[in-house]
């Protein structure tokens, strides 16, 4: 137990992040459904005591899914996998990575406790417990700082610990997407942290005057859950998709540079720290940039879709019955494409969707696509996590159910946005919107089911007595040269010489020729 | 025959490159710190312009004395010189001067904290007097924390230098601290000009 707490092994730290984030995701999705049920008849206040507690749950659901759910899930996966992908015996700054996990966990628990004790990040009626709000802000600050610390470890691992012969452009797609995503996180999470500090200083110890005023505080934070910033939190998913497709097709990715550039472009287009006031009236140039970025975000996803389709076409003979990760990767890419299209609709001025429930629909589409992508990564690298093969039948079902859940959750909110339904409202809902709200509640339940199925797949693999091979997929990159599960130090045999982005494929071809 | 044999020494093995993890990690952390302050500055200048646009006074003239802020700028410029001296001394394998320069830099940092505390007493501005006061205390307080972090970083490096860890071929740690320190001073330059002078 003590060893577990004090460990600086990147795999244990990453697994801690993954387990914690899955727990918070389950709780977050459950909370989302409770909020959804209240939305069916908000005037009645059947579930929540008053508008303020309803709003606090709404905000906790949004912020929590980001900083307690999807971001730590992808960060944890990155901490487990990227050192293996770059052939490193350990993550950079392993103790800092461990501190990041424990700081995040403690902060996350305190944050939930803060919310539960009436310490929400704002309330339209102004009724919050100021001390509890200060506690929540302190916890949110700790969570954000911890995520930054973990990101520094992740970034430094890929950049500094690569073996000779592996240029930065040669790292596997997931490692590259972690570099892109981590860099954007390091540029934007400090802005969120600055917002937390401002609000905390305003709230702590005296009546707030500006940033900590309950009626206005939420607007300081929700930019991080909206376009374009919300895209930043799912950037690593693009790398997961590209790695899964190339591995499944067992062919080299053609136009690799274009795929790397697409991931990089998606990262640049997701920088959202400048757009904090969009919706409240901003200058014309900023608005123009905002709209242009909204449109442009579709392009990298389309490039990636083309690249993946070409790879699958060339490797069709090698695929056979599609694996759960491959099905999930394709579905995730399609979901992300749909999410970016919703983003385009959202910024088209005549539709006037900003501030409507389309905000929530877009948030759900992007972030939950990120969740599906994260579960795809878990199943793809599952043998490195548990040392056992993950069941494919249930795995396929989980990604299908999750993807269906994303659609049922996001699309109704977007359609409601066209019917002028506000993102948060306690007024009676219009005819048509109430039916869409019912569909969204059902979608949330489907999502929960899909996530439970995924957890069941992972748990079932732990009970298996059959050890997994090092490389169940015929992988191309270095992580598949380590045993399953990888030991301390990660590799027991000398790594192959790295002369291309696919060293294991090179080694296999050389052996074949010999 | 043996006398005719010409022997060649094999070329030396390449010197293993020590991964520059600390330098790279510190660069990312420094970038994050700069973004943190940029976010605060953006909000400060945005609030100031919107307040002045409706004809209101942002900060009453004479509220913030100029001299302490200027002294701090001068102190931090001096600290840039000493921290650069520390890096050069390490590169020259001059450990005693490196330690002296690191200690002097730390001393300058302590002086800045002292000067900021003095400025707070001179300003006569309560944190809850309005948005301007709130933002000034948030920004300058955060900068104090940044100075303190830099001092702790320097102290750790000084101890390591005393233990002989750094030398001419291994100066990344000091270089990392220098990057952080320069960025921290650059942030203060914005505070000095944007808040203490222009207000």
Kindly report, residue by residue over A203-253, the tens digit of the pLDDT: 988 889 999 999 889 988 989 999 999 999 999 999 999 999 999 999 999
Looking at the predicted structure, is the pLDDT value of residue A266 above 90? Answer: yes
Residue B12 vs residue A353, higher pLDDT: A353
CB-defined contacts A:B, below 8 A? 80
pLDDT category of residue B8 using cuts at 50, 70 and 90: low
Nearest to A253 by CA among A188, A191, A189, A303: A303
Per-residue pLDDT, B83: 97
Binding-face residues of A in 70-89 toward B, CB within 8 A: none
Give the gap in angstroms from C-alpha B190 to the nearest C-alpha of chain A: 17
User: Which residues have a Cβ under 8 Å from the Cβ of A343 and sit 6 or more positions away?
Assistant: A227, A228, A231, A294, A297, A298, A362, A366
- Cβ <8 Å between B36 and A190: yes
pLDDT category of residue B2 using cuts at 50, 70 and 90: very low
Distance CA(A75)–CA(A70), nearest Å, equals: 8
Q: Where are the alpha helices (DSSP H) in B16-130?
A: 21-53, 66-91, 95-123
Per-residue pLDDT, B15: 46
Looking at the predicted structure, is the pLDDT value of residue B118 above 80? Answer: yes
Per-residue pLDDT, B6: 53
Count Cβ neighbours within 10 Å for each residue of A390-418 and write b for 16 or more, e otherwise: bbbebbbbbbbbbbbbbbbbbbbbbbbbe
Which residue, chain included where needed, has tokens 């005719």? Answer: B4
Q: Which residues of A are less than 8 Å from B131 in CB distance?
A: 209-210
Per-residue pLDDT, A228: 95
How does the average pLDDT of chain B come out, rounded? Answer: 90
How does pLDDT run across A61-114, given as a tens digit for each residue?
A: 999 999 999 999 999 999 999 999 999 999 999 999 999 999 999 999 999 999
Q: At A30, list the tokens.
A: 């459950």
Helices A324-347 and A284-296, axial angle in degrees (round to 10) = 150
Q: Where are the alpha helices (DSSP H) in A419-491?
A: 433-463
- Cβ <8 Å between A155 and B24: yes
Q: Measure CB to CB from residue A152 to each of B28, B135, B141 and give the nearest one.
A: B28
Distance CA(A158)–CA(A88), nearest Å, equals: 9
Per-residue pLDDT, A6: 79
Provide, rounded to the nearest whole percent, the portion of chain A with pLDDT above 90.
82
Per-residue pLDDT, B16: 46
Looking at the predicted structure, is the pLDDT value of residue A278 above 90? Answer: no
Give the gap in angstroms from C-alpha B1 to the nearest C-alpha of chain A: 39
3-state secondary structure of B29: helix
Helices A357-380 and A324-347, axial angle in degrees (round to 10) = 160
For range A138-166, the mean pLDDT: 95
Per-residue pLDDT, A425: 86
Q: Which residues of B are less than 8 Å from A152 in CB distance?
A: 25, 28-29, 32
Q: Measure CB to CB from residue B138 to each of A186, A197, A207 and give the nearest one.
A: A197
DSSP B9: P
Per-residue pLDDT, A467: 86
How does pLDDT run across B89-101, given as a tens digit for each residue?
A: 999 999 999 999 9
Which helix (H) or strand (E) segment holds residue A11: the answer is helix A10-40
Q: Which residues of B are less than 8 Å from A184 in CB distance?
A: none
Q: Which residues of A are less than 8 Å from B25 in CB distance?
A: 92-93, 96, 152-153, 155-156, 160
State the Cα angle at A508 between A504 and A509, rounded to 5°: 115
Question: Which residue in chain A has the smallest CA separation from B135?
Answer: A198
How does pLDDT run across A385-435, given as a tens digit for each residue?
A: 999 999 999 999 999 999 999 999 999 999 999 999 999 988 878 778 999
How many CB atoms sit inside 10 A of residue B136's CB?
Answer: 23
Q: At B34, list the tokens.
A: 């700069």
Q: At A70, list the tokens.
A: 């999807």
Residue A3 vs residue A254, higher pLDDT: A254
Burial classification of residue A216, based on how many CB atoms lie within 10 Å of its CB (0-12 exposed, 13-18 middle, 19 or more buried): middle
- Cβ <8 Å between A148 and B32: yes
3-state secondary structure of A514: coil
User: Which residues have a Cβ under 8 Å from the Cβ of A118 and sit 6 or more positions away?
Assistant: A53, A56, A127, A128, A129, A132
Nearest to B20 by CA among B180, B171, B165: B171
Half-sphere exposure of A304 (CA within 13 A, CB side): 32
Q: Is A146 on the interface with B (CB under 8 A)?
A: no
State the Cα angle at B8 between B2 and B13, rounded to 5°: 145
Per-residue pLDDT, B162: 85
Distance CA(A96)–CA(A125), nearest Å, equals: 41
Q: Is A179 on the interface with B (CB under 8 A)?
A: no
How does pLDDT run across B143-195, given as a tens digit for each residue?
A: 999 999 999 999 998 898 888 888 777 888 899 999 999 999 999 999 999 99
Is-contact A107 B36, C-beta < 8 A? no
Burial classification of residue B162, based on how many CB atoms lie within 10 Å of its CB (0-12 exposed, 13-18 middle, 19 or more buried): middle
DSSP A512: H
Looking at the predicted structure, is the pLDDT value of residue A30 above 60? Answer: yes
Peptide bond into A228 cis (omega under 30): yes
Q: Measure CB to CB from residue A209 to each of B37, B40, B134 and give the nearest one.
A: B134
User: Which residues have a Cβ under 8 Å from the Cβ of A234 and sit 6 or more positions away?
Assistant: A70, A74, A336, A366, A367, A369, A370, A373
Give the gap in angstroms from C-alpha B5 to the nearest C-alpha of chain A: 35
pTM above 0.80, yes or no: yes
pLDDT category of residue B1 using cuts at 50, 70 and 90: very low
Q: Measure CB to CB from residue A160 to each of B21, B35, B40 and give the nearest one.
A: B21
Distance CA(A28)–CA(A446), nearest Å, equals: 14
Residue among B25, B53, B144 with most chain A CBs within 10 A, to mutate: B25
How does the average pLDDT of chain A come out, rounded? Answer: 93
Looking at the predicted structure, is the pLDDT value of residue B18 above 60? Answer: no
The terminus-to-terminus CA distance of chain A in angstroms comes to 48
What is the length of chain B? 199
Per-residue pLDDT, A508: 80
- Cβ <8 Å between A160 and B28: no
Nearest to A211 by CA among B86, B135, B66: B135
Looking at the predicted structure, is the pLDDT value of residue A298 above 90? Answer: yes
- Cβ <8 Å between A159 and B40: no
Q: Is A203 on the interface with B (CB under 8 A)?
A: no
Q: Which residues of B are less than 8 Å from A153 in CB distance?
A: 25
Count Cβ neighbours within 10 Å for each residue of A335-370 and write b for 16 or more, e otherwise: bbbbbbbbbbbbbeeeeebbebbbbbbbbbbbbbbb
Is-contact A119 A132, C-beta < 8 A? yes
Looking at the predicted structure, is the pLDDT value of residue B37 above 80? Answer: yes
Distance CA(A56)–CA(A38), nearest Å, equals: 13
For range B58-62, the mean pLDDT: 90
Q: Where are the alpha helices (DSSP H) in A86-220?
A: 94-116, 130-160, 173-203, 214-217
């Amino acid at each position: 137990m003590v060893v577990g707490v004090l460990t600086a092994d990147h795999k244990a730290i990453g697994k801690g992040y993954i387990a914690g984030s899955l727990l918070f995701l389950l709780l977050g999705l459950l909370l989302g459904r409770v909020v959804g049920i209240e939305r069916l008849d908000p005037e009645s206040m059947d579930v929540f005591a008053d508008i303020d507690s309803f709003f606090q749950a709404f905000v906790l659901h949004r912020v929590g899914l980001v900083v307690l759910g999807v971001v730590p899930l992808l960060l944890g996966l990155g901490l487990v996998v990227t050192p293996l992908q770059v052939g490193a015996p350990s993550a950079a700054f392993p103790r800092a990575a461990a501190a990041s996990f424990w700081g995040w966990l403690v902060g996350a628990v305190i944050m939930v406790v803060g919310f539960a004790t009436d310490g929400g990040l704002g309330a339209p009626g102004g009724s919050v417990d100021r001390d509890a709000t200060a506690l929540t802000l302190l916890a949110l600050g700790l969570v954000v700082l911890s995520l930054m610390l973990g990101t520094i470890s992740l970034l430094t691992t890929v950049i500094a610990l690569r073996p000779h012969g592996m240029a930065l452009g040669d790292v596997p797609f997931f490692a590259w997407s972690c570099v892109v995503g981590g860099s954007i996180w390091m540029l934007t999470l400090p802005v969120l942290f600055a917002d937390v500090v401002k609000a905390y200083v305003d709230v702590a110890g005296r009546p707030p005057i500006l940033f900590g005023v309950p009626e206005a505080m939420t607007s300081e934070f929700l930019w991080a859950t909206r376009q374009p910033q919300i895209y930043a939190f799912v950037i690593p998913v693009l790398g997961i998709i590209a790695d899964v497709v190339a591995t499944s097709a067992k062919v080299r990715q053609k136009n690799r540079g274009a795929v790397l550039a697409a991931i990089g472009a998606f990262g640049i287009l997701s920088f959202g720290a400048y757009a904090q006031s969009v919706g409240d009236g901003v200058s014309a140039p900023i608005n123009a940039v905002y709209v242009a970025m909204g449109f442009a975000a579709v392009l990298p996803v389309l490039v990636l879709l083309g690249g993946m389709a070409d790879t699958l076409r060339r490797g069709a003979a090698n695929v056979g019955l599609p694996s759960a990760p491959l099905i999930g990767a394709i579905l995730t890419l399609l979901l992300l494409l749909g999410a970016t299209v919703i983003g385009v609709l959202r910024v088209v001025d005549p539709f006037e969707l900003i501030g409507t429930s389309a905000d929530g629909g877009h948030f759900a589409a992007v972030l939950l696509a990120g969740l599906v992508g994260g579960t795809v990564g878990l199943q793809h690298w599952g043998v490195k996590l548990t040392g056992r093969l993950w069941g494919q039948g249930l795995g396929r079902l989980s990604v299908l159910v999750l993807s269906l859940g994303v659609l049922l959750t996001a699309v109704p909110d977007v359609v409601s946005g066209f019917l002028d339904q506000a993102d948060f409202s306690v007024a009676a809902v219009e005819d048509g919107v109430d039916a869409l709200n019912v569909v969204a509640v059902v979608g949330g339940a489907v999502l929960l089911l899909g996530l439970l199925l995924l957890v069941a797949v992972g748990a079932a693999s732990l009970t298996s007595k059959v050890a997994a091979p090092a490389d169940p997929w015929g992988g191309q990159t270095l992580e598949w040269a380590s045993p399953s599960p990888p030991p301390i130090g990660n590799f027991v045999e000398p790594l192959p010489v790295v002369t291309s982005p696919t060293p294991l494929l090179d080694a296999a071809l050389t052996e074949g020729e010999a | 025959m043996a006398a005719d044999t010409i022997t060649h020494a094999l070329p030396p093995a390449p010197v293993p490159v020590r991964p520059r993890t600390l330098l790279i990690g510190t660069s990312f952390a420094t970038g994050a710190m700069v973004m943190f302050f940029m976010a605060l500055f953006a909000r400060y200048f945005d609030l100031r312009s919107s307040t002045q646009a409706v004809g209101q006074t942002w900060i009453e003239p004479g509220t913030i004395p100029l001299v302490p802020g200027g002294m701090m700028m001068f102190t931090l410029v001096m600290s840039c010189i000493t921290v650069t001296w520390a890096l050069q001394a390490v590169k020259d394998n001059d450990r005693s001067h490196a330690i002296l320069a690191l200690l002097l830099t730390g001393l300058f940092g302590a002086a800045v904290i002292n000067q900021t505390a003095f400025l707070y007493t001179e300003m006569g501005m309560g944190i809850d007097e309005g948005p301007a006061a709130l933002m000034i205390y948030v920004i300058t307080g955060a900068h104090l924390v940044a100075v303190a972090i830099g001092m702790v970083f320097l102290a750790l490096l000084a101890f390591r230098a005393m233990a002989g860890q750094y030398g001419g071929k291994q100066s990344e740690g000091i270089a990392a601290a220098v990057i952080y320190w320069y960025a921290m001073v650059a942030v203060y330059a914005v505070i000095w000009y944007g808040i203490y002078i222009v207000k």
